[in-house]
Chain A
Amino acid sequence: MSSRIDVSIEHRNVPEPPGKKHPNTCPACDSHYRDDELEAALWVCPHCGHHFTMRARTRIASLADEGSFSEEAADLRSEDPLDFFDLRPYTERLAEAEMKTGLGEAMVIGQAAIDGNGCELAVMDFSFMGGSMGSVVGEKFSRACDSAAQRGVPLVSITASGGARMQEGILSLMQLPKTVCAVEDLHDAGQPMISVMTHPTTAGVLASFASLGDVIVAEPGALLAFTGPRVVQQTTREKLPEDFGLAEQNLRFGHIDAIVPRPELRAYVTRLLRLFGPNGD
């Protein structure tokens, strides 16, 4: 008879085993959150201010004036020049990323207005293969620079990336000089670039266009490092400072201009766009 006793209620109320956390737990302060609550707070923890990763479309909606965003180069897709196969084929990883994110690639670009100031946006999405930069990200960024130059507006770049996309081999490394040249052409056309680095902006993206902003700002707690803490620790066995590679350390060492919390970003960027914009408006 005992086997027929319904124990599901007890199971439901069993305390969670240590180490296994509730899915909606803030990684910084362990408080629980509701999705709608967090979304209303721009994905910033209401308790401790931890900045969660923000998806590209959500980011654009949070910055651009309603209805002002017009996407460009949305149909660009990666190819597989090396027939790359690690544990799974690259093409399969790409298809999966597109299904998962609803995006064609790890960057979305387009024309927008922020508080009435025309600009070009280039926004990365970490959910698409870790925001890695392959040929398409490079090409989209390059076109964003051209679009900004042609229309005579500033470029606002928002990065979140683990670096170059290994699956495209040497061509992914070539996206570094490619995007660098695009920024230089934008600068020659007299337009500024505002670089907003969000968590994480590392390796190939940090070592190329993201570091070339006329103004560079970061979100609090963002990891901005050429080499991440795990690899540095493994290769050098050095003792890492507590804030190694974080935005706060980068500010202290003079690599960025400011740390701007997400709720203040729109106003901050607006001010910059006004200052760089035409006089007497």
Chain B
Amino acid sequence: MATDHELRLRERLTRLRGLNLLGGTRLSAELEKLQRQLERIQAAPTDEEIWRSVELARHQDRPYTLDYVERLFEDWVELHGDRGRADDAAVVVGIGRFEGRTVALIGNQKGRDIKERTKRNFGMAYPEGYRKAMRLMELAERHGFPLLSLVDIPGAYPGVAAEQHGQGGAIARSQALMSRLGVPIVTCVIGEGGSGGAIATALADRVLMQANSIYTVISPEGCAAILWRDAAEAKKAAAAFKPDAVHCLELGVIDSIVPEPEGGAHTDPDEAARLLGEALRDALDELEPIPADELKRTRRAKFRSLGVYA
């Protein structure tokens, strides 16, 4: 995995690249210098390392949203239901005390044993889950609570009822609502950031990723099935589309990487929670002084700048 030094370099590089300065000759020299340093100290994650991230992100003992809530929040109150037709257990929402302030939290939640997994639909949300999340976003906006979202979803649920209840529209509207909020939003991918199901709650001012999490446009298996016509080629697919945190940072998709204990978050959940808590607190501290209009404008501008074209 990438060293801390490398991560810092990459962060600086990404930030510099993002600056849109006029004729920045000095800046481009700086960029080149950073780039050279970076190339020296690292070789990009190998295919094996990428696949290891995929496995760790899906590890059955990896801490889930509620494991972090219990370690990071005081006075946590979980809220239920989308106020329309259901309470989707794959999405947990609530309010709690985090580092001296009340925050609203949205998180994807998988289950530990087979009974809970079934109840939580293996973490795959229905449209009702996104409507539940949106209900919480509105609550946060109404009361000026910062919004935290923890992303850990294999993908939005691909079922008949999910389609009938408007899966695509729910994901679109959840993003649209996030782009309108005037409160600070911080997202961290804590496991699987699976496609539309993940981005639905990830349109944030700061997007973080734990070092061993993945963020993907389609599951490696799905990609392999379509492009290689063989789901067993998932490893090749993952190597090709590079879903690991280091590559996401490099592409400007995330703002920083949250370190994990050696061996992965599941080896020491307390330490993983401490590290995550620090990163969330730092991001909130940075965002809270910014006026609502500016937050919203900058957030939209950031997402509108993503993409590579000629």
Chain A residues at the B interface, C-beta cutoff of 8 Å: 76-79, 81-82, 84-87, 134-136, 138-139, 142, 164, 166-178, 180-185, 202-204, 206-212, 224-227, 231-232, 235-236, 238, 240-241, 244-245, 249, 253-255
Contact = CB atoms under 8 A, between A and B. Distances in A.
Given A170-B248, A173-B216, A176-B196, A238 B300 contact: no
A176 B253 contact: no
A139, A173, A225, A240 — most chain B CB neighbours (10 Å): A173
Interface stretch (B32-40, B159-167, B264-272): B159-167
Interface stretch (B23-31, B93-101, B174-182): B174-182
B310 A226 contact: no
Contacts of A169: 216-217, 240-243, 247, 251
B308 A253 contact: no
Given A181-B300, A231-B158, A253-B165, A171 B227 contact: no
A84 B251 CA distance: 14
A197 B251 CA distance: 31
Contacts of B227: 86-87, 166
Interface in B139-175: 156, 158-160, 162-169, 171-173, 175
Given A181-B300, A236-B158, A78 B309 contact: yes
A91 to B, nearest CB: 12
A134 to B, nearest CB: 8
B309 A136 contact: yes
9 closest Cβ contacts across the A-B interface?
A: A135-B307, A206-B168, A227-B158, A211-B172, A169-B241, A226-B168, A86-B227, A226-B167, A207-B171
B218 interface: yes
Contacts of A175: 306-307
Interface residues of B, number: 53
29 contacts: A136-B309, A138-B306, A138-B307, A164-B195, A170-B215, A170-B217, A170-B243, A171-B308, A173-B195, A173-B199, A177-B175, A178-B306, A181-B303, A182-B304, A185-B304, A203-B168, A207-B167, A207-B171, A207-B196, A212-B173, A225-B163, A226-B167, A226-B168, A226-B171, A227-B167, A231-B158, A231-B222, A232-B159, A244-B160
B133 interface: no
Contact of B168 (A78, A164, A171, A211): A211
Nearest to A204: B196
A250 B227 CA distance: 29
Contact of B228 (A86, A167, A174): A86
A46 to B, nearest CB: 32
B166 A253 contact: yes
Contact of A173 (B169, B172, B179, B217): B217
Contact of B241 (A84, A231, A253): A84
Interface in B260-310: 299-300, 303-304, 306-310
Given A174-B253, A203-B196, A81 B217 contact: no
Contacts of B251: 81, 169-171
Contacts, number: 192
- Chief secondary structure at chain B's binding surface: helix
A255 B169 contact: yes
Contacts of A79: 308-310
Contacts of B304: 142, 178, 181-182, 185
B158 A174 contact: no
Given A76-B310, A178-B306, A180-B179, A166 B217 contact: yes
A226 B162 contact: yes
A174 B241 contact: no
- Chief secondary structure at chain A's binding surface: helix
A185 B200 CA distance: 18
B203 interface: yes
B223 interface: yes
A179 to B, nearest CB: 9
A185 B175 contact: no
A87 B247 CA distance: 22
Contacts of A76: 309-310
A86 B199 CA distance: 25
A77, A182, A184, A245 — most chain B CB neighbours (10 Å): A184
Contacts of B22: none
Contact of A170 (B179, B200, B253): B253
B226 interface: yes
A139 B160 contact: no
A253 B309 contact: no
A81 B308 contact: yes
A134 B241 CA distance: 13
A81, A138, A170, A180 — most chain B CB neighbours (10 Å): A170
